[in-house]
């Protein structure tokens, strides 16, 4: 998988700006820059990788600024945090509210695929109910080997 073309990133940024406006938020220049880097990347990016890349073009950017931008982008449904990697990826369906999402993380190449399989979501929901547990979120992260890496081994 290669990084997205500039035109595709630009179109997704326009969609993101519209989603933010519809929800009463604003995709500021900094938030737009952070999201642009995430959208263009072919791998998840950590906050410090984002910081390093932004420092190339912007002065005075500090970690807290990046984390605030990431928090906003997550709240708007534009990015996801991959907990296992402590890194961020763009949501494949900008602004879509997920009931549950699953991520497939390749341990060899670092690619992350986002899926939303209702069967997995329902199985987790029913298992939680049987235990009397009320989940506040249901994100599943699976580590393994992607198809491309499996074939290259």
Q: What is the pLDDT of residues 19-68, one digit of tens each?
A: 999 999 999 999 999 999 999 998 999 999 999 999 999 999 999 999 99
pLDDT attached to residue 81? 95
Degrees (nearest 5) of the Cα angle 133, 139, 141? Answer: 125
Lookup: tokens for 127:
């298992």
Digit-coded pLDDT (tens) for 78-106? 999 999 999 999 998 876 666 678 999 99
Look up residue 119 and give its two tokens.
């069967």
Asked whether residue 153 carries a pLDDT value surpassing 80, the answer given is no
Residue 70 lies in a domain: yes
Together in a domain, 60 and 106: no
CATH number at residue 109: 3.30.1490.190
Report yes or no: 89 and 38 within 8 Å, Cβ to Cβ.
yes
Same domain for 19 and 79, yes or no, is yes
- What per-residue confidence (pLDDT) applies to 4? 64
19: which residues sit within 8 A by CB, 6+ positions away? 76, 77, 78, 94, 95
* pLDDT bracket for residue 2 (50, 70, 90): very low
Q: Please report whether residue 37 resides in a domain.
A: yes
State whether 38 and 74 are in the same domain: yes
Looking at residue 78, its pLDDT comes to 94
Contact 13, 31 (CB under 8 A): no
> Residue 77 pLDDT > 50, yes or no?
yes
* DSSP conformational letter for 116: -
């Amino acid at each position: 998988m290669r990084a997205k073309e500039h035109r595709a990133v630009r179109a997704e940024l326009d969609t993101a700006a519209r989603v933010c406006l519809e929800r009463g938020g604003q995709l500021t220049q900094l938030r737009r820059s952070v999201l642009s880097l995430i959208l263009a990347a072919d791998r998840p990016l950590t906050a410090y990788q984002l910081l390093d890349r932004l420092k190339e073009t912007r002065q005075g950017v500090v970690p807290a600024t990046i984390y605030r931008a990431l928090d906003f982008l997550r709240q708007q449904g534009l990015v996801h945090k991959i907990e296992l990697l402590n890194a961020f990826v763009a949501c494949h369906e900008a602004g879509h509210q997920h009931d549950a999402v699953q991520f497939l993380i390749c341990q060899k190449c670092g690619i992350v695929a986002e899926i939303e399989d209702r069967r997995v979501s329902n199985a987790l929901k029913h298992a939680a109910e049987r235990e009397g547990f009320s989940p506040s979120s249901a994100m599943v992260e699976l580590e393994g080997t992607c198809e491309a890496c499996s074939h290259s081994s």
